[in-house]
Chains A and B, each alone.
Chain A
């Protein structure tokens, strides 16, 4: 039995900021939800089920917040689910929502992922001390920096590659009215001049901490005709592995490679670099762009990734534009970031990405990862209905 066709007909997001002090948690979610519903030409009452995604509850200090939000989100009297798969949650939430439609359980599903992390402090929430242990790494950046060093060593990458990514993503964000960071004048030189935070990762190569939300409306085939430009879901994959295991490859994790192989197979893609027109890849620290390019199969391992980046191949006019929205480097409400990648990919193939639209984009990848590079969620969306 195969999956029934499903399409994204509504995408909404908030204006991501360091602190959204003008809204409550419900208000933050509704801003994204109301935009997504408007995009879809639907009302809350027409929705069959709601799937909420969010990262650790400690960020907002509310346990299982979907419960108190139920009425505000229009979920009262309907089925409501809450997914939490660490940083990949925005992606896996969209996948659970798609599954509801692909399995024929519901026809019209609303999904929303959010984080209002300014209510506490993200680094604190991620580093509550555990007795008997010693807190050595300094937050997420400190966790990933050693593995970035390993990639540089393995691949022989020159040290300015990360800066190329950072400058690209921050300049792309200038074309995205919703992005958190709108830093004019970012260049490779200015990034390299910024403070080294966790050598080899610099300040300007690091994602911000943002409040924000993203919402999608995903519908069945017979409902997709409401929209003149649905984004059809061609494939969805999730894979997980352990945080640490003997001889686990932290730079090019097996789960990432397995997920990529599975998504290309599902979507009928044999040469990703040729067949994918644009990618939204989860890059919270600049060096992850070349690392994921290799892991996803867009470039050869141990160097193909940084060469593709260095050549300008991932710029908006390159062979594979990556993160035209500005990516996680420009906006990072942790719970929502994965769904933003999936949503931006959908906007691209719908021709609805506004100023950061890639002309003629017909097929796009949305990618998210979480934890210690161990949870992966990906989808491929296309302007055409899937042929399989």
Chain B
């Protein structure tokens, strides 16, 4: 396997983006930031890959216009996944592993506010017996939350702790759209919203875009003092049915953890759009209490659809670039109730490399 590192990251998030659902005007400054971070121009990028969803935009081929932001004369080596940025990154990492290219820029965007997100996502379900009932994402997460409460695996207090910590940390994150911690008691005193979930247990509807830059070997060392070397990148999916899986577990996360070396991970950015899901993820990843979770505030404070998973990887990578940590984890999820999960482990090697 080639050594590939995350060497650049840019993001934009807002409650409501008033521009076009193709988000081209959001992407242009993001790419500019990536070029600034690396000193590259678009011609230094060997492969481009994007993540987005036609249904979020409300039209077919909604990703096509975003290609304008790249500048595609001369034509580029480019692909697209109808998945989160984290999986677009996976395809790019894969392309670099084939040896065909040495660098990649991946990006994702989504204007969740263009429709009613929790209703739109009902289209992501089994089309014969689930979608006709229009189960919304909050309800599906609520069923999962209750399953854990009933089984004694967590309670509303544990959920409120996750929310409070996240809201507090978000105060330092200029991109978070929801911020301001208080106390567990105060959060618990707020009314139930979708029993057993309170509003702060659910990610806010967020618009936004993000981009990540990957580079192999010396290309990474050239542009970054402390490349965030990817030591493992794996993803798995579970069946969708809410009836046949144990909703308090996430086997795909456990599989991804088993395929990774998580020993010594200091910081974990976990993509948990609902507070109880962080508890499941911590458990499946086997993270001890000494691991710092979601210093960015996580998805509970900002959750732009299709970028939020990749943003976790970017936020984790930043911890390495700043020298705050030397081994980190970024996680992304997709599908209802943690159906599909990706784990990316990154390390700082400047000590070993004597740089």
CB–CB under 8 A between A and B in the complex?
Answer: yes
Residues of A within 8 A of B (CB): 1-3, 24-25, 54-65, 67-68, 70-71, 75-86, 92, 96, 99-100, 102-105, 125-126, 128, 130, 237-243, 245, 248, 253-255, 258-259, 371, 374-375
A378 to chain B minimum Cβ distance, whole angstroms, is 12
**Are A86 and B94 closer than 8 Å at their CB atoms?**
no
A132 to chain B minimum Cβ distance, whole angstroms, is 11
Please give me the residue from chain A that is nearest to B99 by CB atom.
A1
25 interchain pairs (CB within 8 A)?
A3-B99, A25-B127, A63-B54, A64-B53, A68-B130, A71-B239, A76-B238, A77-B238, A77-B251, A78-B236, A83-B81, A83-B91, A84-B63, A92-B79, A96-B79, A99-B97, A103-B97, A103-B99, A128-B58, A128-B59, A239-B75, A240-B67, A242-B73, A254-B74, A258-B75
**Are B124 and A64 closer than 8 Å at their CB atoms?**
yes
Q: Which of A63, A77, A130 contacts B121 (CB 8 A)?
A: A63
Q: A270–B29 Cα gap in the complex (Å)?
A: 42
Contacts of A71 in B (CB 8 A): 239-241
Please give me the residue from chain A that is nearest to B61 by CB atom.
A86
Q: A57-B55, A99-B98 are in contact. Are A241 and B75 (CB under 8 A)?
A: yes
Say yes or no for B78: interface residue by CB 8 A criterion: yes
**Are B64 and A371 closer than 8 Å at their CB atoms?**
yes
**Are B80 and A83 closer than 8 Å at their CB atoms?**
yes
In the complex, chain B residues 81-108 whose Cβ is within 8 Å of any chain A Cβ: 81-83, 87, 90-91, 94-95, 97-100
Contacts of B319 in A (CB 8 A): none
Query: How many A-B pairs with Cβ below 8 Å?
Result: 178
Contacts of B2 in A (CB 8 A): 1
Q: Which of B76, B234, B235 contacts A239 (CB 8 A)?
A: B76
Q: A70-B238, A79-B237, A85-B80 are in contact. Are A374 and B335 (CB under 8 A)?
A: no
Best-surrounded residue of B58, B126, B131 (most CB of chain A within 10 A): B126
Contacts of A125 in B (CB 8 A): 60
A47 to chain B minimum Cβ distance, whole angstroms, is 13
Say yes or no for B340: interface residue by CB 8 A criterion: yes
Q: A238–B77 Cα gap in the complex (Å)?
A: 6
Please give me the residue from chain A that is nearest to B339 by CB atom.
A67
Best-surrounded residue of A3, A57, A65, A240 (most CB of chain B within 10 A): A240
Q: A125–B61 Cα gap in the complex (Å)?
A: 10
Please give me the residue from chain A that is nearest to B52 by CB atom.
A84
Contacts of B83 in A (CB 8 A): 64, 81-82
Say yes or no for B173: interface residue by CB 8 A criterion: no
10 shortest A-B CB distances, which residue pairs?
A103-B97, A255-B75, A56-B60, A240-B78, A71-B239, A63-B123, A84-B82, A241-B75, A1-B99, A63-B55
Q: A3-B99, A77-B255 are in contact. Are A239 and B123 (CB under 8 A)?
A: no
Q: Using A63-B55, A64-B82 as known contacts, list a sample of 7 further A-B pairs with CB atoms less than 8 Å apart, ordered by residue number in A.
A: A56-B61, A62-B123, A64-B335, A71-B239, A86-B61, A241-B72, A254-B74
**Are B94 and A96 closer than 8 Å at their CB atoms?**
yes
